[in-house]
Amino acid sequence: MTFFANHYYLLLSFLIVMGFLSGFVDSIAGGGGLISVPALTLTGMPMASVLGTNKLQSSIGTGIAVLKYYQHDLLSLATVYRGLLFGLIGAICGATLVNHINNHFMVIVVPFIMLGVYIFNLFNRKLGIEPGKKRLSEPVFFSLFGFILGFYDSFVGPGTGHFWLIAIVYFLGYTFVEASGYAKVLNLKSNLFALIIFLYYGKVNFIYGFTMAIGQIAGNYCGAHIVILRGSKIVRPLFMTVMFLTILIMFYELFAQSK
């Protein structure tokens, strides 16, 4: 933090690179916030401003990925409109709440939830590779998970892409490629709605946000292009790898804070 305080233009260059990596990973497997949020903390901003600025840059990058998926007919807005509507409610609730109460208790809860999801995926290797069983109807699924994950994304943030991907694959029977487009548009929705709240509270740094967005745009475009070309066989391995790293980081932070 002290180093970047004395090297402003190196900080901006660093944010562009981290934005690219975050966007690339997020467009394929989700979890880009695990790269962008720690990077933004190095600017020395308060955590609320870090989260608000992260919403700005990630919204721009995710918008590029959504456009790419839409152009290749990998998502239908008519299918997902309930998720957008209930996600609005969830995102507003989460973003408002995080500005009034401490959300550090989620540091304990989320790693164990993600570990359970990871183990489940580890023993279901064909999940998402081929079309699976539909366990919920689209209206019920997008209404329920739209609110839950919209709230989570605004209240905590990191890992939302993981949860969207696996929820769509498991409950709707989509392949990872089919799920990726829907995960992106739903993530974009909650990002934009939460961004409005953070803007209202003055928790967005436009210089850092737009700088990081330069890398986000390139990373999301490249990542979405690879998904379209390579399919589920590239999404699942990267999804599992990123999720594993996510869990390691979360448990490390959990035990580090307990000392």
Burial class of residue 18 (count of CB atoms within 10 Å of its CB; 0-12, 13-18, 19+): buried
Dihedral (C-alpha) 35, 43, 184, 252: value to the nearest 10 degrees?
30
Q: Which residues of 36-56 are buried (b: 16+ CB within 10 A; e: fewer)?
A: bbebbebbebeebbbbbbbbb
Nearest to residue 26, comparing CAs of 72, 71, 57? 57
Between CA 54 and CA 142 the distance in angstroms is: 25
Could you tell me the pTM of the whole model?
0.77
Provide the residue range defining the domain that includes 242. Answer: 2-258
Count up the domains in the chain and report the number: 1
Output the tens digit of pLDDT for each of the chain's 259 residues: 555 566 788 889 999 999 999 998 888 877 788 789 888 988 888 888 998 999 999 999 889 888 888 888 888 877 888 888 898 888 788 878 877 877 777 778 888 888 988 898 888 888 888 888 899 999 999 999 989 988 887 787 667 778 888 899 999 999 888 888 888 888 787 778 778 888 999 999 999 999 999 999 999 889 888 888 877 777 888 888 888 888 888 888 778 766 6
pLDDT in tens, 168-196: 999 999 988 888 888 888 878 777 877 88
Nearest to 208 by CA among 218, 220, 216, 197: 216
Handedness of CA 136, 140, 142, 146 (dihedral sign): negative
Comparing CA positions, the residue from 160, 174, 162 lying closest to residue 231 is 174
Please give the Cα distance from 144 to 148 (Å, whole number): 6
- Helices 160-172 and 106-122, axial angle in degrees (round to 10): 40
Give the number of other Cβ atoms within 10 Å of residue 215's Cβ.
Answer: 25
